[in-house]
């Protein structure tokens, strides 16, 4: 006897599509029909989401004509239903341009680097390469593959026409000097050298970046990431169990199912589509328990418990490196910890309220409180298992410097072992939730905050975005 198929299984099962089970729309491409489900298409493609949820004329039609696609349609529909795609000699020339048109993020994220290395890539027309390189939806970790794709494909006379679409200002200075400056084709073109000069100016004159904004300084939309904020405390310093999700693309907040235990001072990380809430304080005792929200199968997450950490920890730091979660420091109600979980060696200073981050393969522990507010910084090398001190921050920080709530921001360059001051946040924030580029809620010295700010490193500025539904601080925050 076959197993029971739940609704989600039906909608993402290829047999359901091929047998037309519950199909409610037909895509018509070059007079060929492809039955599908609106809800599945909308969930996987911003293009179809806009078509089926706004007032487009296609919204209620039983069939939709799609222009600009060919045989790649069936391959891309299979990706929508199976999350896998088969790249072949026959489909490589049209696969990614079609994925750009339909805004299928996963195809572009998973296959851009491998497709541009494919031997058939050089057979694309200049127009097709241009469409691919300039597409804002392409998801890559850096602009390196885009530059290399242009160089691999290019005929010398067409290089300036294509290079203008590569976001070279977003390349690292080392890549510019070691790779681009050494490329002979660049030397042969005055227009290309002008583009490289513009790139170098962007890096050498950061005060001019705000005047240099344009398509080449605009990053691709990136992975479909969301921001999760969990727990913390509201008025009367009472811990809460609230979980909120922020989508940076729509700038909208939504509530998710609550965690099982109210907690403030919790640490949080994400790993492989799962969001972990670690330790904290429930108003009675400091905690070692860990809760996990699994987003790999259900959009709103499935909540379950995982084994506790070895030590009760409130205000601990947490991060991930490789496939492992690291938790360091914190306070158990009587003492500040130096230990880091997995028993990988103690930090040199006991800390609570410190930030734990990964940079260039090492773990950095910054600031915090050990009875005194700290500006010291340590880094942990997983290869040696040792902690070492690095140059301290200019300001003592645990969200507070002992006299004032802080809006100042410092940036650390791990390669030069140096700190620099960057633009202040618009609001002072103590007990702030922080993750890459975002500062979330906190306390400004007068009231709890619901506002969030986003930092743009290109123009060195902070921008206030949509406020949360809850005013609180000391929340766990991470990007999923």
- Give dist(CA 152, CA 334) in Å, integer: 62
pLDDT at 262 over 90: yes
Fill in the DSSP letter of residue 170. G
CB burial of residue 395 (10 Å; 0-12, 13-18, 19+): middle
Q: Give the whole-angstrom CA distance, residue 378 versus residue 389.
A: 4
**181 pLDDT above the threshold of 90:** yes
Sign of CA dihedral 424, 425, 428, 430: negative
* Helix axes 126-134 and 92-102, enclosed angle (nearest 10): 40
Mean pLDDT, to the nearest integer, of 394-413?
86
Residue 283 has pLDDT above 60, yes or no: yes
The candidate with the shortest Cα–Cα distance to 277, out of 224, 314, 237, is 314
189 pLDDT more than 70: yes
Task: Give the integer Cα–Cα distance in Å for 108 and 99.
Answer: 7
Confidence of residue 300 (pLDDT cuts 50, 70, 90): low
DSSP H or E stretch at residue 303: strand 302-306
Per-residue pLDDT of 48-78, as tens digits, reads: 777 777 666 677 788 888 776 665 666 777 7
**pLDDT recorded at residue 16:** 47
> Pick from 182, 104, 199: which is nearest to 148 by CA?
182
Q: In whole angstroms, what is the distance from residue 392 CA to residue 410 CA?
A: 11
- Which is higher by pLDDT, 94 or 465? 465
More confident residue, 58 or 237: 237
pLDDT, tens only, 345-381: 566 788 888 888 888 788 888 988 888 899 999 988 8
pLDDT value of residue 457? 74
How far apart are alpha carbons 58 and 39 in whole angstroms? 14
Token pair of 171, please?
Answer: 């390349």
If pLDDT is split at 50, 70 and 90, which confidence band does 40 have?
confident
- Residue 346: per-residue pLDDT: 63
Confidence check: pLDDT of 430 > 90: no
3-class DSSP state for residue 477?
A: strand
Between residues 339 and 91, the one the model is more confident about = 339
Let me know how many helices (H) and strands (E) the chain has, helices first. Answer: 13, 23
How would residue 143 be classed by pLDDT, with cut points 50, 70 and 90?
confident
Is the pLDDT at 190 greater than 90? The verdict is yes
Question: What is the pLDDT, as a whole number, of residue 2?
Answer: 36
Lowest mean pLDDT among 207-221, 275-289, 325-339: 207-221
More confident residue, 188 or 80: 188
Nearest to 228, CA basis, from 156, 300, 161: 300
pLDDT at residue number 121: 73
Any idea which of 34-43, 273-282, 293-302 has the lowest mean pLDDT? 293-302
Cβ contacts of 87 within 8 Å, gap of 6 or more: 95, 111, 114, 115, 118
- Among 128-142, 258-272, 464-478, the minimum mean pLDDT is found in 128-142
The Cα 348–Cα 340 span in angstroms is 11
| pLDDT of 22 over the 50 cut | yes
Q: Give residue 290's pLDDT.
A: 92
pLDDT band for position 4 (cuts 50, 70, 90):
very low
Q: Report the C-alpha gap between 247 and 255 in whole angstroms.
A: 12
**Which token pair is 166?**
């590569």
pLDDT at 443 over 80: yes
Nearest to 29 by CA among 62, 74, 90, 78: 74
Q: What mean pLDDT value characterizes the chain?
A: 80
- Cα–Cα distances in angstroms (integers) from residue 280 to residues 46, 239, 285, in the given order: 38, 10, 9
Confidence bin at 82 (pLDDT 50/70/90): low
Burial (CB count within 10 angstroms: exposed 0-12, middle 13-18, buried 19+), residue 241: middle
Rounded CA gap, 433 and 292, in Å?
A: 19
CA distance 86 to 95: 10
Give the pLDDT score at 214. Answer: 84
Closest CA to 37 of 51, 20, 50: 20
Instruction: Please state, in angstroms and rounded to a whole number, the distance separating the CA atoms of residues 30 and 88.
Output: 21
Residues 70 and 74: their CA atoms lie apart, in Å, by 9
List Cα–Cα distances, 334 to 51, 265, 401, in angstroms: 58, 15, 23
Q: CA 106 to CA 138: how far, in whole Å?
A: 9
294: which strand partners? 274, 302
pLDDT for 120 beyond 70? no
Q: Is the pLDDT of residue 286 over 90?
A: yes
CA 53 – CA 59 distance, rounded (Å) = 7
Which pLDDT score is estimated for 17? 47
Weakest-pLDDT range from 46-50, 107-111, 174-178, 328-332: 107-111
């Amino acid at each position: 006897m076959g197993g029971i198929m739940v609704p989600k299984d039906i909608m993402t099962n290829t047999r359901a599509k091929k047998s037309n089970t519950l199909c409610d729309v037909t895509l018509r491409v070059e007079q060929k029909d492809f039955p599908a489900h609106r809800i599945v298409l909308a969930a996987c493609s911003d293009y179809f989401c806009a078509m089926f949820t706004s007032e487009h004329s296609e919204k209620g039609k039983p069939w939709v004509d799609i222009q600009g696609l060919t045989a790649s349609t069936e391959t891309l529909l299979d990706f929508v239903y199976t999350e896998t795609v088969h790249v072949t000699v026959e489909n490589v020339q049209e696969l990614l341009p079609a994925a750009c048109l339909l805004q299928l993020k996963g195809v572009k994220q998973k296959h851009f680097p491998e497709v541009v290395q494919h031997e058939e890539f050089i057979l694309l027309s200049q127009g097709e390469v241009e469409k691919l390189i300039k597409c804002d939806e392409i998801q890559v970790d850096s602009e390196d593959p885009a530059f290399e794709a242009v160089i691999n494909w290019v005929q010398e006379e067409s290089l300036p026409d294509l290079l203008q679409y590569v976001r070279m200002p977003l390349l690292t200075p080392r890549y510019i000097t070691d790779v681009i400056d050494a490329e002979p084709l660049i030397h042969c073109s005055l227009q290309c050298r002008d583009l490289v000069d513009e790139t170098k100016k962007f890096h050498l004159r950061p005060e001019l970046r705000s005047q240099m904004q344009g398509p080449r300084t605009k990053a691709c939309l990136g992975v479909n990431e969301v921001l999760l904020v969990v727990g913390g405390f509201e008025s009367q310093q009472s811990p809460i169990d609230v979980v909120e999700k922020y989508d940076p693309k729509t700038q909208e907040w939504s509530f998710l199912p609550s965690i099982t235990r109210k907690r403030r001072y919790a640490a949080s990380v994400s790993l492989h589509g799962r969001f972990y809430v670690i330790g904290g304080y429930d108003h009675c005792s400091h905690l070692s328990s860990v809760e996990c929200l699994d987003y790999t199968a259900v959009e709103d997450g499935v909540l379950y418990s995982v084994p506790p950490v070895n030590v009760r920890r409130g205000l601990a730091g947490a991060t991930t490196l490789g496939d492992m979660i690291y938790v360091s420091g914190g306070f158990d109600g009587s003492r500040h910890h130096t230990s880091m979980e997995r028993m990988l060696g103690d930090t040199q200073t006991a800390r609570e309220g410190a930030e734990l981050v990964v940079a260039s393969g090492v773990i950095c522990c910054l600031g915090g409180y050990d009875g005194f507010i700290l500006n010291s910084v340590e880094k942990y090398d997983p290869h040696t298992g040792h902690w070492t001190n690095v140059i301290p921050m200019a300001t003592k920080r645990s969200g507070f410097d002992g006299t004032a709530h802080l809006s100042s921001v410092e940036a650390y360059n791990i390669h030069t072992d140096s700190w620099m001051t960057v633009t202040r946040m618009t609001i002072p924030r103590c007990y702030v939730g922080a993750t890459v580029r975002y500062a979330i809620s906190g306390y400004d010295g007068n009231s709890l905050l619901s506002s969030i700010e986003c930092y743009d490193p290109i123009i060195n500025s902070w921008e206030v975005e949509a406020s949360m539904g809850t005013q609180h601080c000391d929340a766990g925050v991470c990007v999923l």
